């Protein structure tokens, strides 16, 4: 965070934060790699902003240490850390024009007028604000204010860019556009990005790694495909997208995986079950299940009845109830859904052994 | 069945007696004053002509504007410092600041003026102390001159200058200040380049209120000025009750009211009335 123009590597070690008796963050340990795009994902109130504020130096942690490139910066004031930050709501200087907002961090650093003019001009071009240089923030649209905030935070080449839900106030189409620009800016600058969102699809689309928070705890960190396909607990599994939960009895290790009984039928799983014995939950994403007309030997499957369908255009979402009353959702081709519904009674739900994962029964 | 419309009508009905009172107590008599200014002692514009040529009247006008300007700068600056502590200080600082702001409201303007005389006079607390410490040998003239007037008036006006400032500071987005610091700006620089400009409307409102109030001061300059630093309100009083020169006194009043009216119009362009309380 201290050398301009060079991406920073940050280590958070056992960070905790209490507000009175309320625990906003608990024993958070996290390594943020040089130049990575890390997303902090979690529901509202899970402590994401608090952690970002601690990284920026605006909030002092109650416990723990923070390192930047190996240097302890836990007690370093915010103005000396100089992380670029984009606040929720942007926090632009309302009395300064676009140009003056972006020039602010450079003026603070006593750059020459010529250099400031150059860098600001370059940045304005890069974020597509040409022609708006003299406007005040109040005269700009939400998307444009967003760009000013980004430009202001990037113009002094900070080692890390912290972004607190930067797109939450934008409408959907603008969001997609800004996400693409964000990716491009990350590649162009090579800076370490720490990005906060409560939108799981945004997190999966943008990040090199995702850190999932709940109730002030860091639950899991990993690449988007890792956390999506191999969540280590139920909260992460459910937060990252729709998922079906089927109870499995008598789980035990088997050849390259595990085996157990699901609705009185033997099912095979590729995932390891060393921590899990006896009863467990088998979690499978809707897109990983399909519908077959009848049962095949040696294939995972259970009987279910289709009860409702939602047409999504490219596919149909089908709601089913299993024989033992579990609710299941699958995403299937439109004709398959129509056939399943018209059949009225039982269909066969199947899934490949390598899809799905085991979670401990009950609890998180 | 009470919608917003009937609420508004109810509020208007409640305000109506106040409006009536203001018309009867101020507007109507003032029309009489306007009439005097054109008719006494003889009909015509004579009094306004005198007002433009009379050296005494002119010097009092200029002194009033000068004192009002100085008092405004002093009061707004002091009020700004107090308000920063009041709005952004630690809990203990807040209570202390609130005390400083509210206590003056409980003491009458007359008592305060004499209090300042006791402090500032030749044998007052300040001169006695300075002499006993040996800083000065002869007492300083701190009262019965413009200095005393400025001190007394500023002291009276600081609490009034606080409210528009407090309202501007309270509505300021904390994150903008954090943003400035995060971008590398020191606390000092953030204060001057971000905090102060963002409270601009409060400063303007505060300055206009102080200035307008200063123009009409009577008791404080009369006591602390000791007759040597007569301000416009005292001059009007002298013209009407002592000279008596009702026509000129009335003309001065009319000019003052028109001037203050223009300033108030300016004030409400910058500040909403509810920000002043
Ligand atoms: N300054 C504070 N004082 C008291 N509680 C706070 C403060 N800041 C945050 N919190 C609490 O800490 C929790 C986490 O907040 P936050 O980090 O803003 O969550 P998120 O950004 O994930 O929505 C919330 O319950 C919030 O009310
Ligand atoms: Mg937040």
- Which residues in chain A land under pLDDT 70? 1-5, 272-275, 343-345, 362-364
Give the number of the atom of ligand 1 that is nearest the alpha carbon of residue A59.
Answer: 1
Over residues B185-226, the pLDDT tens digits come to 999 999 999 999 999 989 998 999 899 999 988 888 888 887
Interface contact A82, partner B, CB < 8 A: yes
Whole-complex ipTM: 0.80
For ligand 1, say whether the CB of A42 is within 6 Å of any of its atoms.
yes
Protein residues placing their CB within 5 Å of the ion ligand 2: A 49
Give the number of the atom of ligand 1 that is nearest the alpha carbon of residue A17.
Answer: 12
Instruction: Supply B109's token pair.
Output: 């303007």
**Closest listed ligand to the CA of A54:** 1
Residue indicated by tokens 């491009």: A184
Q: How far apart are CA B197 and CA B179, in angstroms?
A: 15
Q: How far apart are CA B125 and CA B83, in angstroms?
A: 28
- Name the residue facing A108 among B173, B185, B197 (closest C-beta): B185
CA neighbor of A46 nearest in space, from A75, A17, A70, A21: A17
Q: Give the pLDDT confidence score for residue B80 in this predicted structure.
A: 97
Mutate to test the interface with B, among A55, A73, A79 (most CBs of B within 10 A): A79
Q: Inter-chain contact A92–B175, Cβ cutoff 8 Å? A: no
For ligand 1, say whether the CB of A168 is within 6 Å of any of its atoms.
no
Q: Give the pLDDT confidence score for residue A364 in this predicted structure.
A: 41
- In Å, what is the CA distance from A112 to each residue of A103, A107, A116? 11, 8, 6
The nearest CA of chain A is from the CA of B92 a distance in Å of: 19
Q: How far is the CA of A57 from the centre of ligand 1 (A)?
A: 16
- In Å, what is the CA distance from B238 to each residue of B40, B153, B212, B234, B242? 16, 20, 21, 6, 5
Q: How far apart are CA B124 and CA B116, in angstroms?
A: 9
Q: Inter-chain contact B180–A92, Cβ cutoff 8 Å? A: no
Could you give phi then psi for residue A207, rounded to 5 degrees? -90, 155
Interface contact B189, partner A, CB < 8 A: yes
Q: Give the pLDDT confidence score for residue B273 in this predicted structure.
A: 65
Over residues A303-355, the pLDDT tens digits come to 888 888 888 888 888 899 898 888 999 988 888 888 877 766 688 889 988 88
For ligand 1, say whether the CB of A197 is within 6 Å of any of its atoms.
no
The nearest CA of chain B is from the CA of A56 a distance in Å of: 7
Query: From A54, which residue of chain B is nearest by alpha-carbon distance?
Result: B182
Q: Give the pLDDT confidence score for residue A2 in this predicted structure.
A: 45
For ligand 1, say whether the CB of A19 is within 6 Å of any of its atoms.
yes
Interface contact A159, partner B, CB < 8 A: no
Q: How far apart are CA B156 and CA A134, in angstroms?
A: 42
**Using CB atoms within 10 A of its CB, is residue A125 exposed (0-12), middle (13-18) or buried (19+)?**
exposed
Q: Give the pLDDT confidence score for residue B185 in this predicted structure.
A: 93
CATH superfamily of B52-276: MetI-like (1.10.3720.10)
The nearest CA of chain A is from the CA of B176 a distance in Å of: 5
Chain A CB contacts of B193 below 8 Å? 104
Q: Please answer whether residues B212 and B256 qualify as being in contact, where contact means their C-beta atoms are separated by less than 8 angstroms.
A: no
**Closest listed ligand to the CA of A44:** 1
Interface contact A104, partner B, CB < 8 A: yes
Asked if residue B39 has a cis previous peptide bond (ω within 30° of 0), the answer is no
Q: Where are the domains of chain B?
A: 1-39, 52-276
Averages of pLDDT over runs of 10 residues in chain B (277 residues) are 64 81 85 87 84 87 93 97 94 92 85 87 88 87 88 92 93 93 93 95 91 88 82 87 85 90 82 64
Give the number of the atom of ligand 1 that is nearest the alpha carbon of residue A48.
Answer: 22
**For ligand 1, atom 8, which residue shows the shortest CA distance?**
A50
Q: Give the pLDDT confidence score for residue B275 in this predicted structure.
A: 63
Give the number of the atom of ligand 1 that is nearest the alpha carbon of residue A213.
Answer: 22
List, in sequence order, the alpha helices (H) in B89-199.
Answer: 91-102, 109-120, 125-133, 146-170, 174-182, 187-190, 196-198
């Amino acid at each position: 965070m201290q050398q301009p123009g060079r991406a920073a590597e940050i280590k958070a070690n056992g960070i905790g934060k209490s507000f009175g008796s309320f625990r906003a963050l608990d024993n958070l340990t996290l390594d943020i790699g040089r130049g990575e795009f890390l997303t902090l994902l979690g529901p509202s109130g899970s402590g994401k902003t608090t952690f970002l504020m601690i990284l920026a130096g605006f909030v002092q942690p109650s416990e723990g240490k923070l390192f930047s490139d190996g240097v302890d910066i836990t007690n370093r004031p915010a103005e000396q850390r100089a992380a670029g930050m984009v606040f929720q709501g942007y926090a632009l200087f309302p009395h300064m024009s676009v140009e003056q907002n972006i020039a602010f961090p450079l003026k603070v650093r006593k750059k020459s007028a010529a250099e400031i003019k150059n860098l600001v001009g370059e940045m304005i071009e890069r974020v597509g604000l040409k022609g708006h240089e003299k406007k005040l923030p109040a005269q700009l649209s939400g998307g444009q204010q967003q760009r000013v905030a980004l430009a202001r935070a990037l113009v002094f080449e900070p080692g890390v860019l912290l972004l607190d839900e930067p797109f939450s106030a934008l409408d959907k189409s603008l969001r997609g556009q800004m996400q693409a620009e964000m990716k491009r800016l990350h590649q162009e600058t090579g800076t370490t990005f720490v990005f906060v969102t409560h939108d799981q699809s945004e997190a999966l689309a943008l990040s090199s790694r995702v850190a999932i928070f709940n109730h002030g705890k860091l639950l899991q960190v990993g690449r988007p495909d890792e956390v999506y396909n191999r969540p280590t607990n139920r909260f992460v599994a459910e937060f990252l997208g729709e998922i079906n939960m089927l109870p499995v009895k008598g789980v035990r290790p088997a050849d390259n995986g595990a085996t157990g009984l699901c609705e009185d039928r033997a099912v095979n799983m590729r995932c390891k079950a060393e921590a899990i014995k006896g009863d467990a939950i088998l979690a499978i994403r809707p897109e990983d299940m399909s519908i077959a007309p009848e049962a095949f030997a040696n294939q995972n499957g259970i009987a279910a009845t289709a009860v409702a369908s939602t047409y999504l255009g490219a596919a149909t979402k089908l709601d089913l109830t299993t024989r033992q009353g579990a609710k299941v959702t699958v995403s299937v081709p439109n004709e398959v859904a129509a056939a399943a519904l018209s059949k009225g009674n039982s269909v066969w739900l199947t899934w490949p052994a390598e899809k799905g994962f085991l979670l401990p029964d009950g609890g998180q | 069945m009470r919608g917003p419309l009937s609420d508004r009508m109810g509020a208007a009905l409640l305000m109506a007696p106040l409006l009536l009172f203001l018309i009867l107590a101020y507007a109507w008599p003032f029309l009489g004053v306007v009439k005097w200014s054109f008719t006494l002692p003889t009909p015509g514009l004579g009094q306004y002509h005198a007002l433009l040529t009379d050296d005494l009247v002119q010097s009092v006008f200029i002194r009033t504007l000068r004192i009002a300007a100085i008092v405004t700068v002093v009061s707004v600056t002091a009020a700004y410092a107090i308000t920063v502590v009041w709005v952004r200080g630690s809990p203990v600082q807040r209570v202390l600041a609130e005390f400083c702001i509210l206590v003056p409201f409980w003491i009458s303007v007359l008592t305060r003026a004499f209090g300042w005389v006791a402090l500032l006079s030749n044998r007052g607390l300040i001169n006695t102390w300075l002499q006993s410490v040996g800083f000065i040998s002869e007492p300083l003239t701190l009262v019965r001159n413009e200095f005393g007037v400025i001190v007394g008036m500023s002291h009276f006006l600081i609490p009034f200058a606080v409210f528009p400032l407090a309202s501007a500071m309270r509505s300021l987005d904390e994150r903008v200040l954090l943003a400035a610091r995060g971008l590398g700006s020191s606390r000092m620089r953030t204060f001057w380049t971000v905090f102060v400009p963002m409270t601009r409307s409060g400063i303007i409102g505060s300055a206009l209120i102080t200035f307008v109030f200063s123009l009409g001061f009577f008791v404080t300059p009369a006591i602390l000025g000791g007759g040597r630093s007569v301000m416009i309100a005292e001059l009007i009083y002298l013209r009407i009750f002592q000279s008596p020169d009702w026509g000129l006194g009335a003309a001065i009043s009319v000019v003052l009211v028109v001037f203050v009216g223009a300033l108030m119009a300016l004030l409400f362009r910058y500040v909403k009335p509810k920000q002043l309380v």
